[in-house]
Amino acid sequence: MAALRPYGMHAFLLAYTVVLLFVDGRFAARGVQAALGLLTFAVLVVCVTRLEGRQRLAALICVPVATLFEVFGSLIWGGYHYRFGNIPLYVPPGHALVYVFGITAAALPFVRRRPQVFRGGVLAVAAAWAVAGVTIFPLTGHRSDVVGLTLLPLLAVCILRTRRGTMFAAIFIAVATLEIAGTLAGDWTWEAHAPWSGMPSGNPPSAIAAGYAVIDGTVVLVAEAALFALLRLRRRPAPATPATPAEPAVSLS
């Protein structure tokens, strides 16, 4: 049990994601969806207390940044659609929880000891899924997933060629879990052909974690810019106080 304790939060987040999306699909009611959103915000608040200051700021910034990406991806681009044609309340804090899952993965004992094995193993699974999406899956009645295969190189670059490769590898695990659970539950559906390009898309696309990597990479940049701006404000010298002119001497003669 002591050996498993460091993995507790990550196991909880994966299990919470599956249960959350199952409940949303099972009841299919706006009131239930709103309650799940409030609950997810509460889970996020608890999780961010375990982060240090810079990571905590980035996790909170993830909520509005992810909301903007969701508005574009679902309502403007139209690559996927939620059941009620909205953006469920649990989605923005859910993105932040994916970020928390990814950013804290580097501290896990196995990942800390063997980061290259972790990255390579995750990428191998992603590659196998992407290749199967255009070879094996179409033969079994599933969609052809050209979108997933197209996104695979971007995911590979994020995992293998960046300083935060461990974070992006962990994000793939979280995203694969939520995308499979959410689409199976009917909470959202990916279009059979991607808008604008017309490329065939899986439901979900295999390497869509690359899109989440872009979101979370944007969060990191925004957080670093915010911290830099705060530091500049703190270091700015206070404006000099103008000297008070001396009182004119009064003659007593």
DSSP assignment of 211-242 equals HHHHHHHHHHHHHHHHHHHHHHHHHSPPPPPP
> Do 98 and 212 touch, CB atoms closer than 8 A?
yes
Q: Which two tokens stand for residue 199?
A: 């490329």
227-239 residues labelled b (16+ CB within 10 A) or e (exposed)? eeeeeeeeeeeee
Q: What is the pLDDT of residues 157-205, one digit of tens each?
A: 999 999 999 999 999 999 999 999 999 999 999 999 999 999 999 999 9
Provide the β-strand partners of residue 190: 80
Least confident of 129-133, 160-164, 236-240: 236-240
Q: How far apart are CA 122 and CA 132, in angstroms?
A: 15
- With H, G, I as helix, E, B as strand and everything else as coil, classify residue 193: strand
Q: What is the pLDDT of residues 141-169, one digit of tens each?
A: 899 999 999 999 999 999 999 999 999 99
Task: Note the pLDDT of residue 222.
Answer: 87
Task: Note the pLDDT of residue 240.
Answer: 58
Task: Note the pLDDT of residue 182.
Answer: 98
> Do 193 and 201 touch, CB atoms closer than 8 A?
yes
- With H, G, I as helix, E, B as strand and everything else as coil, classify residue 140: helix
Q: What is the pLDDT of residues 47-101, one digit of tens each?
A: 999 898 889 999 999 999 999 999 999 999 999 999 999 999 999 999 999 999 9
Taking only Cα atoms into account, the Rg of the chain, rounded to an integer number of angstroms, comes to 24
Tell me phi and psi for residue 55, to 5 degrees.
Answer: -65, -40
Domain ranges of the chain: 7-229
Global pTM reads 0.89
Q: Which two tokens stand for residue 229?
A: 């701006």
